Structure 1
């Protein structure tokens, strides 16, 4: 600690955990800048999907998850983050500036921090063991504290949601180009490795699962829809923070998760989910598969991330 500011080791450790946040196809669309008394988060628009539209919603969502990861890592290290979201309206890619004040970590912050390296995207079918209602209530509460809502899709609502997810038309050449560029890579520090690319749509599950049909049993995943009451960039950033809180909370109680955002990039499908699942009370930002991993499955490989020097502005990296 130096004059009320974390030392270099603490900052680097927190940022290393921040970049463990999930992003679509592992694009990691974030950049950080460190000044004398602030940490700044930027959207790296060069790493956003061409097919995600002018608002780059999925990339902003990913940056929100990185922001929450960073806040949790700093809190566990003894620093509370005072976040100013979208601090400069003239620069919409400047997503947050963060001031730090000394802080006594809570047990919850320590617990969530320890989950950052354990959380993984699991696209395999989940087991039939029921999720205790209290667990689903807990993830909903954590999302609500960050300005988002969680709707569990059950019965006819689930049928509607799965139908919409399966009804995705050809999203066009832009999306196919993104998929080819960012997925199916053999060994890489970014993008989705070949082993994580969905190979089929499970007849009892939802699009986006991996494996071969002969190897998979029924999928008993619950489906949650994370939504926000507005749909501007601020809401999308907060939705990413809430998504991170949901995923880390689920990991902490032993649940497996998989985030689906790609179908929501198709405006017609997103509107159908807003109307048919969320009753037009919220804008869908992500669909989350959640459940218990099957006891007999192998451990998932750890997804790679770019080195910290690649996501810190060069001058700031040297000054960190």
Structure 2
């Protein structure tokens, strides 16, 4: 980049944090292009999951999280991001064009940027320690600033979520195409994408909160108590591509805020991948006033829990394309 904008090494440093964003099955469905005066984010359709995510909702959410990670990384490096979402009507996979202006980093910018490298999807059981209401209020506030709503599901709404999770798991267990796709993207031991076996605990049949049954689970989960995770539903007022992108940005803000506080998190999207179950969540958990985009487990890990192995990511060079259109920059 030129004309007084960040140098190439600074942009690549920001992108190295952006690609730490969570994505469905860790498929990392993003491509980046660096123009003369901007950074561009594209959804990579080659990373689509036809059986798991037929309408690409999860892919757009994942890219939204990467976009927010980029904004946070740039802010910590002294650049504020001006984001133009869906800038090219002729190309729906062109999700964002980001222009950068000088910015003095705040303590929050630095703290959230540091949280990017610490955040991990933790599928283990969480402890019974309660989350202070102020912490839940903070993640709600951060999501609202990005156009999303966070709803804490307790009592009957929580039971509805658990029911939809169990139903989704049972349906997917009988779907050979879904099972093949899941097996293809999990159980990995040496790869820069997909879900590593070392990061997945074995699913326990009697767990209250059923999880995806990834291949070859090898992560020890020493908890013998129930999972005391809180369940949060992140939703938006609409359900178009822009809303899903904004939801992904808000999802990132929630995850990084929780990590900065010291909370463990795990994204759950399986029941929302089935239209009738997603409608059930909308009607019975959100009172038919918002569109559910993601479910988040959030809580405290037991003090005995060991650090998770780092989940791999593709390098920036692997997801960076040459910029072909100077007019778009």
TM-score (norm 2): 0.92
Q: 1:53 to 1:190 in 2, by over 3 A?
A: closer
How many residues are matched?
Answer: 316
1:200–1:213 contact (8 Å) kept in structure 2: no
**Residue pairs, 1:121-270, within 5 angstroms:** 121-168=121-168, 169-171=170-172, 172-197=175-200, 199-201=202-204, 203-208=206-211, 216-270=224-278
Paired with 2:323 and 2:159, the residues of 1 have a C-alpha distance of 52
Q: 1:251 to 1:41 in 2, by over 3 A?
A: same
1:126–1:292 contact (8 Å) kept in structure 2: yes
CA deviations on 1:55-107 (whole Å, 9 max, x unpaired) are 30000000000000000000111111110000011110000001111111111
Q: 1:97 to 1:214 in 2, by over 3 A?
A: closer
Q: Does 1:287 align with 2:295?
A: yes
Paired with 2:58 and 2:318, the residues of 1 have a C-alpha distance of 21
Paired with 1:20 and 1:255, the residues of 2 have a C-alpha distance of 18
Q: Does 1:277 align with 2:277?
A: no
1:123–1:258 contact (8 Å) kept in structure 2: yes
Q: Does 1:75 align with 2:78?
A: no
Q: 1:165 to 1:132 in 2, by over 3 A?
A: same
TM-score (norm 1): 0.94
- Give the gaps of 5 or more residues in structure 2: 325-329
Q: Does 1:15 align with 2:4?
A: no
Q: 1:51 to 1:70 in 2, by over 3 A?
A: same
1:307 is aligned to 315
Supply the RMSD in Å over aligned alpha carbons. Answer: 1.8
1:200–1:212 contact (8 Å) kept in structure 2: no
Q: How far 1:198 moved relative to its partner? A: 5.3
Deviating beyond 4 angstroms after TM superposition, the runs of 4 or more aligned structure 1 residues are 209-215
- Give the gaps of 5 or more residues in structure 1: none
1:111 is aligned to 111
